Amino acid sequence: MEQDQNAPQQLQIELTPEVAGGTYTNLAIINHSNQEFVIDFIAALPGLPKARVSDRMILTPESAKRLLFALQDNVVKYEQQFGTIEMPGAPAPKADGIGRTATPFGMGEGNA
């Protein structure tokens, strides 16, 4: 029997034990060109004058926007389950008690 050429293929993702432990980060520096977004993840620890980039991710603009949407969706779900994530200096949460996610690139809410 011939497989349908248009049927989506399922991607198998492997998570190795070395990667499964994760890498702690509390700082990200993001740069971009017309071809890619570069995100450097850093753990800046108190009392240390130097911080090293632990991971660098290079994404296409489309992948960067997909990541933005996925993070926004997950922050909303997190806040619905656990409450608003407090950020000093951020605007007060909405009346429903759920904070709003960061709006990218200075755009108005809902225009990402």
The whole-number pLDDT of residue 111 equals 44
pLDDT tens digit string along 3-35?
567 777 899 999 999 999 999 999 999 999 999
Half-sphere exposure of 51 (CA within 13 A, CB side): 17
Angle at 37 between CA 46 and CA 30, to 5 degrees: 25
Q: Quickly list H helices, the chain.
A: 17-20, 61-82
Question: Could you tell me what percent of the chain has a pLDDT over 70?
Answer: 77
- The pTM for the full model equals 0.70
At residue 110's C-alpha, the angle toward residues 33 and 65, to 5°, is: 30
| Residue pair 40/27 in contact by the 8 Å Cβ criterion | no
